Amino acid sequence: MTTIFALATPPGRGAVAIIRLSGPDTERALEALGAGGLKPRLASLRKLSHEGAILDQALVLRFVAPHSYTGEDAAELHLHGGRAVVEAVSSALLDMGLAPAEPGEFTRRAFQNGRMDLAQAEAVADLVDAETAAQAAQALGQLDGALSQTYAGFRRDLLTALALVEAEIDFPDEDVPDHLARSAGPVLDKLLSDLRAALADADRGRRVREGYRIVLIGETNAGKSALFNALVRREAAIVTPIAGTTRDVLDADLIIGGYAVTLSDTAGLRDSNDPVEAEGVRRARARAQAADLRLRVRAPGDPDGPAAAYVRADDLIVWTKADLGGGVVPSEGFAVSAVTGQGIETLHDVLAERLARDLSGADFPAVTRERHRRRLSEAAEAVDAARVRLIDAPELAGDDLRRAADALSRVTGEIGVEDVLGEVFATFCIGK
């Protein structure tokens, strides 16, 4: 095993820069720097030097295996945060034969040494990336093992059912299917409904982690881009009286009510012979369909147009240009003006309420990644198949249950590890 090091703090100038070391040569490297023989887990101030030159006066922390983040011998050098100091210490470590860490390598070692499972390792990456309180809370829950425990619970139920099936098969008699339907059947029914509930809820975790997708959709000149600018508080989109101004989809990242949101402005929907506009309209439709929520933007007095086809029961209708006194107060939705700002605060509040409703609380810790969702759905499918076979071909039901257990183990990395490691750790930053 090589000994690795990396800058754990952001590159550039700062009060403190932390270089992390991990691996069997850690103590040798500390000694060579002039910080050998430190008491584990106690901060010690040492003058670090290399080949006779003083590099820095630093706070040094030493960790002895297995009591470290990685489970290996490890250390942290809390340096003065200037580029020259970090450069000098890094090149000294390179001279000593230590290797620069790959992205995610510290956490990968922690996983390989049994310090955390894969779902927890993913939570580390999520926590580092978290920009909203909700994202951080979700990642902390996952790091704490909440998600892992849910999957472990599913797996336990599966093994219970598997044991029942195998016991019956080993002592075959006439009534095997009957017995099984009574013993393993209810266990599988409950498991299946739990798996399906977790899957139904999977979108919530994704929406918190990646951002909730809100798309403005409407006919040309309805005022979508003007509303977009009012919501993002800058002149991000071009606004003109010419119908068909917007062609590309414009995305802006916002935080509304503590949740990450991606708001998109789109081309006004109409038939067009202009190939550029037609492509814009195609993209607008695709985005509207994939969105978590659509804001159907309408100008009072304009006839209902092609956007109507994209509105779903739960979507919001926003009437623009309220300052023009468009006459009738709409019976559905509410009125805003991008010019006077009327209704924009209210719209903001309504969106915050909607986000809280859609994204907070549920019985299960949210399934946060596509990788988990795929495995859960494989497991649900296999359990469903087993449920049918209990009656028809009980000797085959065990295979389905093993397949389901296998799918669940892959989420936490108990088995099938190698093929998922790359996928999980590729997204990490160096030093984590």
Residues that bind ligand GTP (CB under 6 A): 218, 220-226, 239-241, 243-246, 267-268, 320-321, 323-324, 337-339
Q: With CB under 5 A as the rule, give the number of residues binding Mg ion.
A: 4
> 337 touches which of Mg ion, ligand GTP, none (CB within 5 to 8 A by kind)?
ligand GTP
Q: Any idea how long the chain is?
A: 432
Q: Which amino acid is at 306?
A: P
Among 56, 61, 24, 111, residue whose Cα is nearest residue 417: 111
* Residue closer to Mg ion, measured from CB, 30 or 297: 297
* Residue closer to ligand GTP, measured from CB, 337 or 368: 337
What CA–CA distance (Å, rounded) separates 242 from 220? Answer: 9
Among 311, 375, 309, residue whose Cα is nearest residue 122: 375
| H helix runs in 300-414, sequence order | 344-359, 370-392, 394-412
* Residue closer to ligand GTP, measured from CB, 341 or 422: 341
Binding of residue 225 to Mg ion (CB under 5 A)? yes
> 244 touches which of Mg ion, ligand GTP, none (CB within 5 to 8 A by kind)?
ligand GTP
Q: What is the helix (H) or strand (E) element at residue 158, kind and residue range? A: helix 146-170
Work out how close the CB of 267 gets to Mg ion at its nearest, in angstroms, rounded to a whole number: 7
Work out how close the CB of 342 gets to ligand GTP at its nearest, in angstroms, rounded to a whole number: 8
> 22 touches which of Mg ion, ligand GTP, none (CB within 5 to 8 A by kind)?
none
Stretch that binds Mg ion, among 15-23, 217-225, 275-283, 379-387 (CB under 5 A): 217-225
Residues 6 or more apart whose CB falls under 8 angstroms from that of 101 comprise 4, 5, 6, 20, 22, 430, 431
Angle, in degrees to the nearest 10, between helices 118-129 and 133-143: 160
**Helix and strand element counts for the chain (H, E):** 14, 12
Strands (E) across 105-211 are located at none
* Residue closer to Mg ion, measured from CB, 68 or 225: 225
Binding map of Mg ion across residues 323-352, x = CB under 5 A, - = no contact: ------------------------------
Work out how close the CB of 270 gets to Mg ion at its nearest, in angstroms, rounded to a whole number: 12
Work out how close the CB of 350 gets to Mg ion at its nearest, in angstroms, rounded to a whole number: 22
* Residue closer to ligand GTP, measured from CB, 122 or 277: 277
Work out how close the CB of 276 gets to Mg ion at its nearest, in angstroms, rounded to a whole number: 14
Question: 223 — phi, psi (to 5°)?
Answer: 105, 20
| H helix runs in 201-304, sequence order | 202-210, 224-232, 275-290
Work out how close the CB of 333 gets to ligand GTP at its nearest, in angstroms, rounded to a whole number: 15
CB 411 within 8 A of CB 376: yes
CA 40 distance to own-chain centroid = 35
Binding of residue 246 to Mg ion (CB under 5 A)? yes
Work out how close the CB of 103 gets to ligand GTP at its nearest, in angstroms, rounded to a whole number: 40
Stretch that binds Mg ion, among 222-230, 307-315, 392-400, 413-421 (CB under 5 A): 222-230
Binding region for Mg ion (CB under 5 A): 224-225, 245-246
